[in-house]
């Protein structure tokens, strides 16, 4: 049981709470949930067990969400607006440079470096005789780099908050 399990369980009863639990204010939301069930926000496995063991969990989580719904929706809306503004600013910067007849090559360089790193990590995993004790580390690095490729695609081809879910 981990944080994704906690998010899934909470989202089943209180979707707004669940969506915020995995975000930047997740610690605060986790503390609210932990205080409700007598656990610790730093131990998601314990919280999952406590929620599953509590027959009134659904009612408690719904009430918590309802009591804080307006505040939670404002936080969620601010988060989505910030993300949209960030994407808009990045694209506006590119357009402004293009109007001046300039082009910043750094985003292209970074994109190619990350793609090259992914190819390198994948190749390292496929080479026979690679020390298997490093395979977990290579897998983790591969996952992080793959997330960066998603960000690169979102930058160049557009993206929305659905990719974060």
Dist CA 94 CA 163 (whole Å): 22
Per the document, the length of the chain is 165
Which among 71, 93, 72, 91 has a CA at the least distance from the CA of 10? 72
The predicted pLDDT at position 165 comes to 47
Rounded distance between C-alpha atoms, residue 41 and residue 54, angstroms = 17
CA dist 68 and 35 (Å) reads 14
- Residue closest to 25 by CA, chosen among 88, 97, 79: 79
pLDDT in tens, 90-136: 778 888 888 888 888 888 888 889 889 888 888 877 777 766 666 77
Three-state secondary structure call for residue 137: helix
User: In the 3-class helix/strand/coil scheme, how is 67-121 assigned residue by residue?
Assistant: HCHHHHHHHHHHHHHHHHHHHHHHHHHHHHHHHCCCCCCHHHHHHHHHHHHHHHH
Cα–Cα distance between 76 and 45 in angstroms, integer?
25
Q: Give yes or no for residue 161 having a pLDDT over 60.
A: no
Q: Judge whether residue 139 has pLDDT over 50.
A: yes
Q: pLDDT (tens digit, 9 = 90+) per residue, 76-88?
A: 788 788 878 887 8
The confidence score (pLDDT) of residue 59 equals: 92
How buried is 9 (Cβ within 10 angstroms: 0-12 exposed, 13-18 middle, 19+ buried)? buried
Q: What angle do CA 86, 92, 98 make, to 5 degrees?
A: 145
């Amino acid at each position: 049981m981990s944080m994704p399990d906690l998010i899934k369980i909470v989202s089943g009863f209180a979707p707004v709470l669940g969506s915020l639990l995995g975000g930047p204010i997740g610690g605060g939301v986790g503390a609210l949930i932990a205080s409700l069930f007598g656990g610790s926000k730093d131990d998601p496995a314990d919280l999952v067990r406590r929620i599953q063991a509590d027959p009134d969990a659904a009612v408690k989580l719904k009430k918590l969400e309802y009591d804080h719904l307006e505040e939670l929706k404002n936080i969620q809306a601010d988060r989505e607006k910030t993300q949209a503004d960030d994407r808009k600013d990045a694209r506006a910067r590119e357009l402004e440079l293009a109007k001046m007849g300039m082009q910043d090559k750094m985003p292209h360089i970074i994109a190619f470096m990350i793609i090259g790193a992914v190819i390198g990590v994948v190749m390292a995993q496929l080479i026979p005789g690679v020390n298997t004790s490093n395979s977990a580390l290579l897998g983790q690095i591969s996952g992080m780099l793959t997330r960066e490729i998603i960000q690169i695609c979102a930058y160049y081809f557009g993206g929305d908050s659905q990719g974060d879910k």
